[in-house]
Homo-oligomer: A and B are copies of this chain.
Amino acid sequence: MSPSVETAEHEALLRLLLSGAPAASLRRLLDSHGSGVAALAAGTRDWASHGLDAAACRALRNPDPDAFGRALAWLSASPAHCLLSWAHPDYPPLLRRIATPPPMLFVAGDPALLWQPMVAIVGSRAATAGGNANAALFATALARAGLCIGSGLATGIDAAAHAATLEAGGATVAVLGTGPDLAYPPSNAGLLARIGKAGAVISEYPPGTPPRRAQFPSRNRILAGLALGVVVVEAAVRSGALITARLAGEAGREVFALPGSIHNPMARGCHRLIREGAQLVETPEDVLETLAPMVRDLACALRGTLAIESGIEGALTRAPGVDTEAPAADAAQVRLWRALGHDPVDLDTLAERTGLTVAELSPMLLAMELEGRVAAEYGRYTRIAR
């Protein structure tokens, strides 16, 4: 997309979002017309047929100039800022599957991370020191295993998970309940800036949107919807983390909870989740074991082919110790296998070598890693010698 075309699309999407039309109407409009520009050009009768009332139609023609200007300024302030719409092929595939997907996402950072298999690590803002250490432990290990770590930028468990992932050189995504330009709490502004550079920050709210109580449960549905599973590290019995876990369960995602001492009030929420059916996990490996088949399924679904699966099965049935090339699989699979060596290479290099995008490579690599054919450390990949 050329810059001017992108700007026109951003402007159209902003008008749609700021019209105040229901999210379902916006998604249907984008489905019908394929882009914000086309939806905006369709006119009042078409808008009304998609459920926009008179006020929304008026706002669509004459958006609030302050909000519109602020959002447009934010989008043009950096090439790393974008607005990802429901109509865009890069809209995160797992998020598409939830009951109420947001029609648009403001993204600061690398939108390709939204395609990487993600696990959310969440928990109490008033976590214990042990809880924060456990969040860091799980985030580090799961990030090194190739999973993207999602969280909500809150104090406590969220911040510990984000920070440990950055430390480990892993991928992390912060899902905000404010506009993408505001840290909440403000003390996490430094962390937010680091995530925007090394990971991705996303929000369904336009830049400048302040924190409001109702926005946080809504944010939690996005976090749960992006992730294959949610790990609750420590949580009180009534807490946002439990809402995220419940939403994850409703969306068919895995819910994991760490147990703790019966004398730790911050373990109560986790214990409640376990009683309600969440998986009790003691180690990051417990999480990986459960997610491995889901990552494979996701990789297959994303690539629209069973080639990876058959490749994995081929690998599993191969005699050990025989150093073969990649098993029978499709061309992309073979290209990736050849691009991998016994020296660690990063994702960008692999993208260059294969001609595949990072979004395509991430799930393929994680599947190969979980299958034991590829090792990943600090975001660099090597073949495992057999």
Contacts and interface: CB of A to CB of B under 8 A. Distances in A.
Contact of A280 (B130, B258, B263, B271): B271
Contact of A260 (B134, B261, B268, B275): B261
Interface residues of A, number: 18
A163 to B, nearest CB: 20
A261 B262 contact: no
Interface in A260-275: 260-263, 267-268, 271, 274-275
Copies in the complex: 2
Contacts of A259: 259-262, 267, 271, 274, 280
A352 interface: no
A261 B263 CA distance: 10
A244 to B, nearest CB: 20
Interface string A96-139: 00000000000000000000000000000000001000100000
A76 interface: no
Contacts of A250: none
Given A260-B261, A262-B259, A267-B259, A274 B282 contact: no
A367 to B, nearest CB: 26
Contact of A262 (B258, B262, B263, B275): B258
Contacts of A130: 261, 263
Contacts of A283: 262
Contacts of A268: 282
Most chain B CB within 10 A, of A130, A260, A279, is at: A260
A92 B63 CA distance: 80
5 contacts: A130-B261, A130-B263, A259-B261, A260-B260, A262-B283
